[in-house]
Amino acid sequence: MLDESLLDTPEALSEADRRGLLRGAAEAGARVRTAARHAAEAGVG
């Protein structure tokens, strides 16, 4: 379970995420959003 108080302090959140899973998920989400935007601009989908 996520301790919501960690969201108030990026340093504490970073320490709690020892394997970098949150950063990886954020990066993957950014890639998906970029791909979706490029597809829309190209008229695909």
- pLDDT reported for residue 27: 97
1-45: pLDDT as tens digits? 778 998 899 899 889 999 999 999 999 999 999 999 999 999 997
For 24, the domain range is: 4-42
Number of domains in the chain: 1
What is the amino acid identity at position 18?
A: R
Q: How far is Cα 44 from Cα 27, in angstroms, rounded to an integer?
A: 23
What pLDDT, on a 0 to 100 scale, did the predictor assign at position 3? 85
Backbone angles phi, psi at 44, to 5 degrees: -90, 135
DSSP codes, 1-45: ---GGGGG-HHHHHHH-TT-HHHHHHHHHHHHHHHHHHHHHHT--
> Residue 43 has what pLDDT?
97
| Predicted local distance difference test score (pLDDT) of residue 7 | 87
